[in-house]
Amino acid sequence: MPRISSPASLTVDPHDWIRPPYSDCGKCGAVASVGLLIVSGSFVRRRCRACMRDSRERLPPAPQPHVLYLDQWALSSLAKARLPDTRARFASEQDSAAGAGMWPHLFSRIERLVKAGLLVCPASSVHRAELSLDIRRWEALRRLHVYLGGDARFANHKQVKRDQLYAAFCAWLDGDEPVFPSREAILRLRRGWPGLLQVSSSYQPELAEVEALRSGRKRRSGGLQQQVEAWASEPRTFDERRTEQLAAYGPSYRPEINPMREFWVLSRHAMDERSMPTDRWASEVERFLSSDAPGETPFAQIASAAIASIGWLAEHAQRPKIDAGTLDDVQAFATYAPFCDAFTVDRRFAHVLRSPPMANYVPAGLRLFAANELKSLESWLIDLERAAPVGHFESIRAIYGDRWLQPFATVLEAAGPAAESDGP
């Protein structure tokens, strides 16, 4: 999937958009002149390089892709497997700290499955915040997000939490069971077959924004570290810790603590729709936030269990190391895990998630892969390819040509206009 730029000095020949595989033109008779122009959803459009006439063909239904969430550790490792200054080290089977040569193989398998429409690795707002902190590799990681995303994207994590909280609020007002937003509302997937081009825009944060992000993460992780140290000497059960976290979730949205304007606007809209007197609005929201209802949201259930697991491990002399990314790990997992088929995590967070009784709160069917389980991740990717519909890869080659599934080795290298059209 090539990247296309359009500097003022670059002129584009219409023929440049026509690509292999080529066939003979049934309209003008030109030999090997009809090439691929556009793949859009369920249609493919081809154009003759001689007469420039188009033909349109309907494609069979595309398979539904699996969803793999790549955390920042995995994304950085994949980038280093292709970047010129680190690729040799990450290809070395002797360097266990760099994955013992596994990352180049994983990159190739993930890339192949994304191009085949069998896998997507969507970017999230948590990714974007973490990406801003890696100034040296910002451009490479941004490209990687786009390249492996498969035209899929998660909703902002704040929006996910807000919409879940709003669904809980409406159900609380009506005395009903809440119906939370579906996977389709959280994850935007491409409909149909992979497109030929990827067009993206980006904004690199200013240094002041980066420093604000960094200081905020440091402050939050410091607060969690102090809490974990206190928990280490408190003999309490996992359920007691989890209940405490759930009880604190609703009050954390009080305006003086978390001025989430969108939720307050939505809550007023919900009460107005139900013809509730305006003088009751503030007290009703306060009653809701103090109730058990906010803790019933999917995010609160998983995040509270994860934090309780950290406390439980601390008490049992298995205190997890808390760093600036720990709360980001909790945030990403609690927000997006219910909508994924697989999730990569670092070793420490994998221990938090797999320790009983936290393991009971990991979404059913979700595959977890830690930093020391790269061979298991590769096996899962191999199984995805083997489970492809019969004839799927033959269809891919017929539509896109033989080069489509070949690795795009220079995807992360700095490129000028001439190199930007490189790739399958």
Q: What is the mean pLDDT of the chain?
A: 87
pLDDT tier for residue 388 given thresholds of 50, 70 and 90: very high
The single-letter DSSP state of residue 41 is B
What is the pLDDT confidence band of residue 24, given thresholds at 50, 70 and 90? very high
pLDDT at 2 over 60: no
Mean pLDDT on 274-281: 94
Strand 187-188 relative to strand 43-48: parallel, antiparallel, unpaired? Answer: unpaired
15 or 295, which is more confident?
Answer: 295
Q: Where are the domains of the chain?
A: 14-58
> Sorting pLDDT into bands at 50, 70 and 90, what band is 124?
very high
Q: Is the pLDDT of residue 406 over 50?
A: yes
For residues 326 and 104, the model is more confident at 104
pTM: 0.88
pLDDT at 288 over 90: yes
Angstrom distance (rounded) from CA 142 to CA 131: 7
Confidence band (pLDDT; 50, 70, 90) for 319? Answer: low
Among 210, 295, 214, 220, CA closest to 252:
295
Least trusted range by pLDDT, from 49-58, 173-182, 221-230, 382-391: 221-230
Would you state the pLDDT for residue 246?
Answer: 96
**Helices 72-80 and 102-115, packing angle to 10 deg:** 100
Residue 67 is predicted with a pLDDT of: 97
At 413, is the pLDDT very low, low, confident or very high (cuts 50, 70, 90)? confident
What pLDDT is attached to residue 293? 97
Q: How many residues does the chain have?
A: 424
pLDDT score, position 417: 33
**Nearest-angstrom CA–CA distance, 271 and 284:** 9
Percent of the chain exceeding pLDDT 90 equals 63
Tens of pLDDT, residue by residue over 149-160, are: 988 999 999 999
What is the pLDDT confidence band of residue 9, given thresholds at 50, 70 and 90?
A: very low
pLDDT recorded at residue 138 = 76
Q: Where residue 210 falls among pLDDT bands split at 50, 70, 90?
A: low
Contacts 24+ apart (CB under 8 A), 95-100: 99/374, 100/374
Asked whether residue 259 carries a pLDDT value surpassing 70, the answer given is no
In this structure, of 131-135, 199-203, 238-242, 392-396, the range with the lowest mean pLDDT score is 199-203
> What angle (nearest 5°) sits at the alpha carbon of residue 249, between those of residues 243 and 255?
155
| Among candidate residues 34, 382, 39, 345, the one with its CA nearest the CA of residue 192 | 39
Rounded Cα distance, 118 and 103, in Å: 20
pLDDT, residue 139, reads: 82
